[in-house]
């Protein structure tokens, strides 16, 4: 991939993991257009303590892109989790998140502050990255994103994280794509279940399945440092089915929710 202006900017900063926002916290003269309306804080370097260190969360780029104007606050919480802080202005709210965006070196992350604006009806009116560099980095990342989704019913044995032969064959094809079409990919694996059963059990099952996919890709030569795996349990259904009694009809209806997704993007270099 060609070097972008973001990569040039990032290369000029002596960044270390989890400290990427320190340079933004000590500069009280940053132009307003660079901060997107976020308040700046002026603190001498010698007075920085743990309270100023911003630790980000890992969120799929595709998930972040689903937070759009008109979405409900409940949906935002389901997608991003609870905000780290909330500012309120006569009923209007600003929700703040710290999100890790991967850097080109493949080891460090830029911790970027992300704001979601919520109106009095608890609907999203807009979103904003704190820094233009974060916004550009995210847009370049999402621009190269490739999405894959696989049926868990095909990939795994029933109620287990053991891969079926057909599932292994599908992942073998994925590994060929990763090893031949990408120079330095970032792979985010997410396991999903349906709503049948206990939520805690489904969460564990979805994590085990995501981990199984990660392990298989490693056996095919995909470095573990390029892969992040997580389980989301039943929290992100793609279909809604009526009924509470477990019947074959209900299982068949809920089948699209039982899945494993892969979000793949090329690192900028």
**Domain coordinates in residue numbering, the chain:** 5-142, 145-266
Burial of 116 (0-12, 13-18, 19+ CB in 10 A): buried
- Identify each DSSP E strand in the chain by its residue range: 85-89, 92-102, 109-118, 124-129, 146-151, 185-192, 227-231, 259-266
Per-residue pLDDT of 180-220, as tens digits, reads: 888 888 899 999 999 999 999 999 999 999 999 999 999 99
Identify the H or E element spanning 49: none
pLDDT of residue 254 exceeding 80, the answer is: yes
pLDDT of residue 106 exceeding 80, the answer is: no
pTM value is 0.57
Cα 269 from chain centre: 20
5-142 CATH: 3.30.1450.10
d(CA 250, CA 170): 26
Residue pair 251/132 in contact (Cβ under 8 Å)? The answer is no
What's domain 145-266's superfamily in CATH? OmpA-like domain (3.30.1330.60)
d(CA 145, CA 62): 8
Per-residue pLDDT of 51-104, as tens digits, reads: 555 678 877 777 888 898 999 999 899 888 899 999 999 889 999 999 888 765
């Amino acid at each position: 991939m060609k070097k972008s202006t973001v990569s040039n900017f990032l290369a000029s900063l002596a960044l270390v993991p989890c400290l990427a926002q320190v340079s933004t916290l000590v500069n009280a003269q940053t132009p307003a257009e660079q901060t997107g309306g976020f308040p700046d804080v002026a603190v001498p370097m010698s007075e920085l303590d743990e309270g100023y260190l911003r630790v980000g969360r890992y969120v799929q780029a595709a998930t972040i892109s689903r937070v759009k104007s008109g979405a409900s606050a409940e949906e935002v919480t389901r997608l991003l989790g609870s905000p780290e802080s909330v500012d309120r202005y006569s009923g209007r709210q600003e929700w703040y998140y710290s999100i890790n965006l991967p850097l080109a070196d493949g080891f460090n992350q830029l911790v970027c502050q992300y704001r979601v604006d919520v109106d009095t009806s608890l609907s999203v009116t807009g979103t904003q990255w704190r820094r233009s560099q974060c916004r550009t980095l995210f847009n370049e990342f999402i621009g190269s994103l490739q999405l894959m989704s696989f049926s868990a019913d095909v990939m795994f044995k029933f109620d287990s994280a053991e891969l079926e032969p057909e599932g292994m064959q599908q992942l073998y094809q994925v590994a060929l794509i990763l090893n031949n079409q990408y120079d330095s990919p970032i792979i985010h694996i997410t396991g999903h279940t349906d709503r049948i059963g206990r939520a805690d059990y489904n969460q564990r099952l979805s994590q085990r399945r995501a981990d199984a996919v990660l392990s298989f890709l490693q056996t095919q030569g995909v470095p573990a440092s390029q892969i992040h795996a997580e389980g989301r349990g039943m929290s992100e259904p793609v279909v809604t089915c009526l009924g509470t009694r477990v019947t074959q009809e209900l299982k068949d209806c809920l089948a699209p929710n039982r899945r494993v997704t892969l979000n793949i993007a090329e690192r900028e270099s």
